Chain A
Amino acid sequence: MKNNKLRPYIIAGLIAIAAYMVLLFGSDGGYLSNFIVYVCLFIIASQGWNLLGGYVGEISFGHAVFWGIGAYTVGLPIGYDLNISPLLLAFAGAAVAALFAWIISYPLLRVRGFPFLVGTYGLGVVFEKVFVASPKLFATKGVFVANDLNRFFLHGMIFVLMIVVTVGVKWLTDKDLGLRFKAVRDVPEAAEMVGVNIYHTKTAALVIGAFLCGLAGGLYVLYSGFINPTTAFDSSVSISILMGPYIGGIGTVLGTVFGTSIVIAIQEWARSALPFTGGQHMALGLLLIIIMMVSREGLFPGLRKLALKLSGKTKDKTKEKKAA
């Protein structure tokens, strides 16, 4: 029973690692290698978003804020020439993002639904404008984050972290806390009736998610070597983060992995294939509409349902044969 459940994950993991090895040593840190790193970073962030958006059911349009906080926690000290280990800063950034999420949950999470959505979007706008308007925070110039980390080491670490986060989120959602997330999403009033504090549960999801987003943001800066308000706080970052779970399958861990890979791939493809402005938006918008209309739960659960249906049919057939 348990082995059966785990087997697809193990197989998927092995395939991914094999593919990764081929690409890493085949392409020597070129375009493809960069692409994989970005995919991994966005998967980490998307898993964080998915905790709140998928499992608790509160859509956030502003997880870029946590991403950006993580990024600037790395960027600012390096920009001011402080001598702190960059990797330490990346994790500190995640912690700062989590702390900020904990503070901001007080006004935002007390009300269900739209205030949260609009408030998180607003938060992104606020951060972007504040950073643009403050010369001490390097304004629109941004920060060049030079570091002497080995790129292969960084690449490997991000990849391993992606796997750790994915497995960790899967583990967490099977624990009591994860079950509580789903209970709050399904029937909040009944969840209250069995002793679940809705506000605390949502806060937990937000804080853990913010930690992951902050971590991804910090590592992004270390890898790309540059940060400015647009790459940190813009709503397009939030969109990249939240599209993955929606496309792949909201509230599923593997769906998020696939979905985010597809979204980043499409963005990259659109950048070269549809070079006019708006091409990327058009591709993503159409993809979103199609997914929502065809399989509302997302690609991954949709495919699983289809597979179940097909296998169900074949089973029926074998039964008929036996009966005959």
Chain B
Amino acid sequence: MGGLTQTLLGGIGSGAIYGLMGLSFALIFGKLKICSYLNGDLSILAAYLCFWSFTLWHVEPFITAVVLCPLFFLIGYFVQTVFLKKFMAMEIWQGRYQSQIMVTWGIGICIMALEYMLWTATYRTMGVSYRNSVVRMGDIAVPYVDIWAFVVMLVVLVGVNLLLKKTTLGISLRACSNDRVSAMLSGINYQRVCAVTFGISAVIAVIAGLFYTLTSQVTPAVGVDLTFKGWMAVIIGGMGSLGGSIVAGIIMGLVEALTSYFWLPALKEVVLFVGLLILLIVKPSGLFSKSR
């Protein structure tokens, strides 16, 4: 029994990372209909930078992440203003989503290629001292990192919600999400709102990457994997609901953990995607979508 509880807790830990990835997509897709496919690669880039600074200079990864946040905010801002801006005014029939997906995906491939060049395809493990330290509760051992991931995920969720509800940026963002043209007519700089939101989404990706590198082994190809897991969380959570994608991420983590526990770790993705297909048959709009 203890083993199962242990597994479930581990699942919540990795689920928190998927939830964060999902949140970073849900924020830009749900609110602004920007379709990005590079956040997973940004995460892994951040993970590698944390790894690098730790192995070369023994910098605490959490500190590196704090430094990386503004940097990645700028990267996100830059990607939106330089690459995605010209697709924002396009209608869907003109291939708006296709173009966005392809550009961001192209950037993602380039980031991945860069990682291959700098760090090769070897699986990297960051040897921080607290990696294996655990909190013991009876016969259950919960890794510190998992607890941290979960707490940080909740903090990010609350933070993003506060940002949306309380700040001027959040209010303009919601205005743009409701009606782009009216928002622009009332003096909101639409492109800037988009760019800032993309930046925030990139920062969330950094946080997900930080915890990924603390809990798992990193290789460049994981970026695409994280991207798709994040999008899965968005779909399961109901296309753009922020809380929904977090919950969906945790469910995904649990499904993976349970598959590894009862069956084969190699088949966890298989079960996950088959589950997604079943969900699409039963409830195509996702678990937590507001019914229209």
Residues of A bordering B, CB below 8 Å = 57, 59, 104, 106-108, 110-111, 113-115, 117-119, 121-123, 125-126, 129-130, 132-133, 185-187, 235, 246, 250, 276-282, 284-289, 292-293, 296
- A122 partner, pick from B83, B107, B232, beta carbons under 8 A: B232
Task: Provide the residues of chain B in CB contact with A287, threshold 8 Å.
Answer: 106
Task: Provide the residues of chain A in CB contact with B220, threshold 8 Å.
Answer: 278
Task: Provide the residues of chain A in CB contact with B87, threshold 8 Å.
Answer: 296
From residue A55, how far is it (CB to closest CB) to chain B in Å? 12
Binary contact track B200-239/A, C-beta < 8 Å → 1, others 0: 0000000000000000000010001000100110110001
From residue A260, how far is it (CB to closest CB) to chain B in Å? 16
Distance, CA A113 to CA B280, complexed state (A): 13
- B269 partner, pick from A125, A185, A285, beta carbons under 8 A: A125
B35 near A: Cβ within 8 Å? yes
Distance, CA A280 to CA B272, complexed state (A): 30
Task: Provide the residues of chain A in CB contact with B109, threshold 8 Å.
Answer: 281-282, 284-285, 288
Contact call A278/B117, Cβ cutoff below 8 A: yes
From residue A56, how far is it (CB to closest CB) to chain B in Å? 11
Distance, CA A280 to CA B106, complexed state (A): 12
Pick from A119, A285, A292, A293 the residue with the most CB of B within 10 Å: A292
Task: Provide the residues of chain A in CB contact with B112, threshold 8 Å.
Answer: 278, 281, 285
- Residue on B with the closest CB to A129? B270
- Residue on A with the closest CB to B232? A118
Contact call B110/A281, Cβ cutoff below 8 A: yes
Contact call A292/B116, Cβ cutoff below 8 A: no
**Contacting residues of chain B (229-288) with chain A, CB-CB under 8 angstroms:** 231-232, 234-235, 239, 264, 266-267, 269-270, 272-274, 276-278, 280-281, 284-285
From residue A52, how far is it (CB to closest CB) to chain B in Å? 12
Contact call B277/A107, Cβ cutoff below 8 A: yes
Contact call B95/A250, Cβ cutoff below 8 A: yes
Contact call A289/B103, Cβ cutoff below 8 A: yes
Contact call B103/A292, Cβ cutoff below 8 A: yes
Task: Provide the residues of chain B in CB contact with A123, threshold 8 Å.
Answer: 273
Contact call B121/A277, Cβ cutoff below 8 A: yes
Residues of B bordering A, CB below 8 Å = 29, 35, 83, 86-87, 93, 95, 97-99, 101-103, 105-110, 112-117, 120-121, 220, 224, 228, 231-232, 234-235, 239, 264, 266-267, 269-270, 272-274, 276-278, 280-281, 284-285
Contact call B93/A107, Cβ cutoff below 8 A: no
At the interface, is chain A mostly helix, strand, loop or mixed? helix
Contact call B231/A289, Cβ cutoff below 8 A: no
A-B contacts besides A107-B280, A117-B231, 8 pairs, CB < 8 Å: A114-B234, A122-B269, A126-B274, A129-B269, A129-B270, A282-B110, A292-B99, A296-B95
Contact call A285/B35, Cβ cutoff below 8 A: no
Task: Provide the residues of chain B in CB contact with A284, threshold 8 Å.
Answer: 106, 109
- Residue on A with the closest CB to B103? A292
At the interface, is chain B mostly helix, strand, loop or mixed? helix
**In the complex with contacts A133-B267, A279-B113, A289-B106, A106-B276 CB distance below 8 A:** no
Distance, CA A107 to CA B284, complexed state (A): 8
From residue A159, how far is it (CB to closest CB) to chain B in Å? 29
Distance, CA A116 to CA B35, complexed state (A): 14
**In the complex with contacts A115-B284, A119-B280, A122-B228, A296-B114 CB distance below 8 A:** no
**In the complex with contacts A281-B116, A292-B102, A125-B273 CB distance below 8 A:** yes
Contact call A296/B120, Cβ cutoff below 8 A: no
From residue B230, how far is it (CB to closest CB) to chain A in Å? 10
**In the complex with contacts A118-B228, A277-B121, A288-B109, A57-B103 CB distance below 8 A:** no
Jot down 28 A-B pairs with beta carbons below 8 A, ordered by A. A107-B278, A111-B284, A111-B285, A113-B97, A115-B280, A119-B273, A123-B273, A125-B270, A126-B269, A185-B93, A235-B224, A246-B102, A250-B98, A276-B116, A277-B117, A277-B120, A278-B117, A279-B117, A281-B110, A281-B113, A282-B110, A285-B108, A285-B112, A285-B113, A287-B106, A288-B105, A289-B107, A293-B86
From residue B25, how far is it (CB to closest CB) to chain A in Å? 9
Task: Provide the residues of chain B in CB contact with A110, threshold 8 Å.
Answer: 280-281, 284
Task: Provide the residues of chain A in CB contact with B35, threshold 8 Å.
Answer: 114
Task: Provide the residues of chain A in CB contact with B121, threshold 8 Å.
Answer: 277
Task: Provide the residues of chain B in CB contact with A113, threshold 8 Å.
Answer: 97
- Residue on A with the closest CB to B97? A113
